[in-house]
Amino acid sequence: MVGQTIFHYKVVEKIGQGGRGEVFLAQDATLESRRRCVTSAVTIG
């Protein structure tokens, strides 16, 4: 998932993992600033 772009967010790095899935740091590709957000990938099953 690191390196992929989801909508306008580029996934920068994996920052954690837990019982419900993984947490990633992502950067908004539409903004000129280096603002980042945290997103998660939920594991279902």
Q: What is the pLDDT of residues 4-43, one digit of tens each?
A: 998 888 888 888 888 878 888 888 888 877 666 676 777 6
- How far is the C-alpha of 43 from the C-alpha of 45, rounded, in Å? 7
pLDDT confidence band for 44 (50 / 70 / 90): low
Tell me which residue of 40, 16, 12, 14 sits closest to 26, measured CA to CA: 12
DSSP-derived pairing of the beta strands 5-6 and 21-28: unpaired
Cα dihedral angle (14, 18, 19, 22), rounded to 10 degrees?
Answer: -10
- How far is the C-alpha of 7 from the C-alpha of 17, rounded, in Å? 22
Enter the pTM of the model: 0.68
